[in-house]
Chains A and B, each alone.
Chain A
Amino acid sequence: MSREIIIDPMTRLEGHGRIHIFLGADGGVDRAYLQIPELRGFEKFVQGRRAEDMPQITSRICGVCPMAHHMAAAKALDDLYQVDPPPAGRKIRELLYSAFMAEDHALHFFFLGGPDFIVGPDAPRQKRNILGVVDAVGLEIGKEVIGVRKQLRDLVAAVAGKAIHPVFGLPGGVSRSLSSELRQQAAAAAARAIEFSQFALGAFRKTVLGNPGYVEFVTSEAYTHRTYYMGLVDEANKVTFYDGTLRVVGPDGKELLTFTGKDYLDHVAEHVEPWTYMKFCFLKDIGWHGFADGAASGVYSVAPLARLNVADGMTTPRAQEAYEEFVTTLGPKPVHYTLANHWARIIELVYAAERMAELAADPEIIDPQVRTLPSAVPREGIGVVEAPRGTLFHHYGTDGRGLVTAANLIVATQNNAARIALSVDKAARALIRNGRADEGLLNQVEMSFRAYDPCFGCSTHSLPGHMALIVQVRDAGGTLVQEIRRDLPCERSSSAWATNTRETMPWACSRCGRCAVTWPGMRTWWRAPPRAWHCSRSSPGMTARWSSTRSAPAAVRRARS
Chain B
Amino acid sequence: MTKPKVAFYWCASCGGCEDVVDLGEDLLAVVDLVEVAFWPVALDFKRADVEALDDGELAAAFVNGAVRTSEQEEMARLLRRKSAAVIAFGSCAMLGGIPGLANLYESRDILDAVYRQAPSVQNDDGTLPAEESHVAEGDLTLPAFSASVRTLEQVIDVDYYLPGCPPPTGLIGSAVTALVEGKLPEKGAVLAPDVALCSECPRAATKPDKLLVQAFRRPQQGLIDPDLCLLAQGLVCLGPATRAGCAAACPGGNMPCTGCMGPTSNVVDYGAKALSAVASVLDADGEDEIAARVAEIADPVGTFYRYSLPASLLHRRVRPAARHDEEEVTT
Chain A residues near B (Cβ < 8 Å): 4, 11-15, 20, 22, 30-31, 33, 35, 37-41, 43-50, 52-53, 56-57, 60-64, 66, 77, 81, 146, 149-150, 153, 157, 159-168, 170-172, 175-177, 264-265, 268-277, 279, 281, 284, 288, 371, 373-374, 395, 401-403, 406, 408, 410, 457, 463-466, 468, 485-487, 489-490, 492-493, 497-498, 509, 515-525, 528, 530-531, 535-537, 543-546, 548
CB atoms of A48 and B12 under 8 A apart? no
Among residues of B, the one whose C-beta sits closest to the C-beta of A150 is B25
B319 is an interface residue with CB less than 8 A from chain A = no
B221 / chain A contacts, CB cutoff of 8 Å: 373
The 7 closest A-B pairs by CB, nearest first: A161-B253, A63-B16, A41-B110, A22-B137, A543-B52, A535-B44, A176-B254
- Our pick among B23, B110, B136 for the contact of A153 (Cβ within 8 Å) is B23
Chain B 85-119 near chain A by CB (<8 Å), digits 1 or 0: 00000000000011101101100011101110111
- Our pick among A31, A33, A63, A530 for the contact of B35 (Cβ within 8 Å) is A530
- Our pick among B41, B68, B99, B120 for the contact of A269 (Cβ within 8 Å) is B120
CB atoms of B143 and A14 under 8 A apart? yes
Known: A50-B218, A276-B129, A545-B52. A41 touches B15 (CB 8 A): no
Among residues of B, the one whose C-beta sits closest to the C-beta of A486 is B43
Among residues of B, the one whose C-beta sits closest to the C-beta of A64 is B15
Q: How far is the CA of A489 from the CA of B41 in the complex (A)?
A: 7
A406 / chain B contacts, CB cutoff of 8 Å: 117, 119
Question: What is the minimal beta-carbon distance from A552 to any residue of chain B, in angstroms?
Answer: 12
- Our pick among B19, B44, B127, B253 for the contact of A159 (Cβ within 8 Å) is B253
The stretch of B272-280, B284-292, B299-307 in contact with A is B299-307
B97 / chain A contacts, CB cutoff of 8 Å: 60
Q: Can you name 6 extra interface pairs (CB under 8 A) apart from A14-B70, A279-B121? A: A60-B97, A162-B253, A463-B68, A465-B15, A516-B44, A521-B28
- Our pick among B25, B119, B165 for the contact of A524 (Cβ within 8 Å) is B25
B48-75: which residues lie under 8 A (CB-CB) from chain A? 48-49, 52, 65, 68-72
B147 / chain A contacts, CB cutoff of 8 Å: 41
A13 / chain B contacts, CB cutoff of 8 Å: 71, 143
The secondary-structure label for the interface of chain A is loop
Q: How far is the CA of A273 from the CA of B121 in the complex (A)?
A: 11
CB atoms of A402 and B298 under 8 A apart? yes
A489 / chain B contacts, CB cutoff of 8 Å: 15, 18, 41
B254 / chain A contacts, CB cutoff of 8 Å: 161, 168, 175-176
CB atoms of B28 and A45 under 8 A apart? no
CB atoms of A520 and B127 under 8 A apart? no
CB atoms of A485 and B44 under 8 A apart? yes
Interface size, B (range): 35 or more
22 A-B pairs whose Cβ atoms sit less than 8 Å apart in the complex? A14-B72, A48-B299, A48-B302, A64-B19, A161-B252, A161-B254, A164-B16, A167-B249, A168-B253, A170-B219, A274-B128, A279-B118, A395-B119, A406-B119, A457-B14, A463-B65, A468-B41, A518-B41, A520-B21, A520-B39, A521-B21, A524-B25
Question: What is the minimal beta-carbon distance from B26 to any residue of chain A, in angstroms?
Answer: 10
- Our pick among A12, A52, A63, A275 for the contact of B19 (Cβ within 8 Å) is A63
A498 / chain B contacts, CB cutoff of 8 Å: 43
Question: What is the minimal beta-carbon distance from A53 to any residue of chain B, in angstroms?
Answer: 6
B282 is an interface residue with CB less than 8 A from chain A = no
Q: How far is the CA of A522 from the CA of B24 in the complex (A)?
A: 11
The stretch of B152-160, B222-230, B323-331 in contact with A is B222-230
Known: A39-B129, A543-B49. A53 touches B114 (CB 8 A): no
- Our pick among B19, B43, B101 for the contact of A485 (Cβ within 8 Å) is B43
- Our pick among B135, B140, B255 for the contact of A161 (Cβ within 8 Å) is B255
Q: How far is the CA of A521 from the CA of B25 in the complex (A)?
A: 9
A515 / chain B contacts, CB cutoff of 8 Å: 43-44
Q: How far is the CA of A421 from the CA of B69 in the complex (A)?
A: 26
A509 / chain B contacts, CB cutoff of 8 Å: 44
CB atoms of B302 and A546 under 8 A apart? no
B258 / chain A contacts, CB cutoff of 8 Å: 53, 56
CB atoms of B299 and A544 under 8 A apart? no
Among residues of A, the one whose C-beta sits closest to the C-beta of B298 is A50
Report which residue of B21, B98, B102 has the largest number of chain A beta carbons within 10 angstroms of its beta carbon. Answer: B98
B25 / chain A contacts, CB cutoff of 8 Å: 146, 150, 524
Known: A172-B220, A525-B31. A270 touches B142 (CB 8 A): no
A60 / chain B contacts, CB cutoff of 8 Å: 14, 16, 97-99, 165
B222 / chain A contacts, CB cutoff of 8 Å: 373
CB atoms of A528 and B32 under 8 A apart? yes
Q: How far is the CA of A175 from the CA of B40 in the complex (A)?
A: 38
CB atoms of B28 and A44 under 8 A apart? no
B37 is an interface residue with CB less than 8 A from chain A = yes
Known: A62-B14, A519-B39. A524 touches B28 (CB 8 A): yes
Q: How far is the CA of A159 from the CA of B143 in the complex (A)?
A: 41
CB atoms of A520 and B120 under 8 A apart? no
Known: A40-B102, A273-B127, A464-B65. A81 touches B114 (CB 8 A): no
Q: How far is the CA of A160 from the CA of B18 in the complex (A)?
A: 20
- Our pick among A15, A53, A81 for the contact of B71 (Cβ within 8 Å) is A15
CB atoms of A525 and B41 under 8 A apart? no
CB atoms of B114 and A41 under 8 A apart? yes
B20 / chain A contacts, CB cutoff of 8 Å: 164
B13 / chain A contacts, CB cutoff of 8 Å: 63, 463-465
B224-263: which residues lie under 8 A (CB-CB) from chain A? 224, 226, 249-250, 252-255, 258
CB atoms of A11 and B47 under 8 A apart? yes
Question: What is the minimal beta-carbon distance from A496 to any residue of chain B, in angstroms?
Answer: 10
Among residues of B, the one whose C-beta sits closest to the C-beta of A12 is B71
A546 / chain B contacts, CB cutoff of 8 Å: 5, 35, 37
B214 is an interface residue with CB less than 8 A from chain A = no
B2 / chain A contacts, CB cutoff of 8 Å: 548
Q: How far is the CA of A492 from the CA of B146 in the complex (A)?
A: 26
Question: What is the minimal beta-carbon distance from A417 to any residue of chain B, in angstroms?
Answer: 13
B197 is an interface residue with CB less than 8 A from chain A = no
CB atoms of A269 and B143 under 8 A apart? no
A492 / chain B contacts, CB cutoff of 8 Å: 15, 18-19, 22, 41
Known: A41-B114, A373-B223, A521-B24. A12 touches B68 (CB 8 A): no
CB atoms of A269 and B121 under 8 A apart? yes
- Our pick among B21, B140, B306 for the contact of A275 (Cβ within 8 Å) is B140
B118 / chain A contacts, CB cutoff of 8 Å: 43, 270, 279, 408
Question: What is the minimal beta-carbon distance from A377 to any residue of chain B, in angstroms?
Answer: 12
- Our pick among A30, A175, A273, A537 for the contact of B255 (Cβ within 8 Å) is A175
CB atoms of B133 and A275 under 8 A apart? yes
CB atoms of B145 and A277 under 8 A apart? yes
Q: How far is the CA of A153 from the CA of B135 in the complex (A)?
A: 46
Among residues of B, the one whose C-beta sits closest to the C-beta of A171 is B220
CB atoms of A33 and B135 under 8 A apart? yes
- Our pick among B40, B102, B253 for the contact of A166 (Cβ within 8 Å) is B253
CB atoms of B220 and A536 under 8 A apart? no
Known: A466-B41, A523-B22, A536-B49. A14 touches B69 (CB 8 A): yes
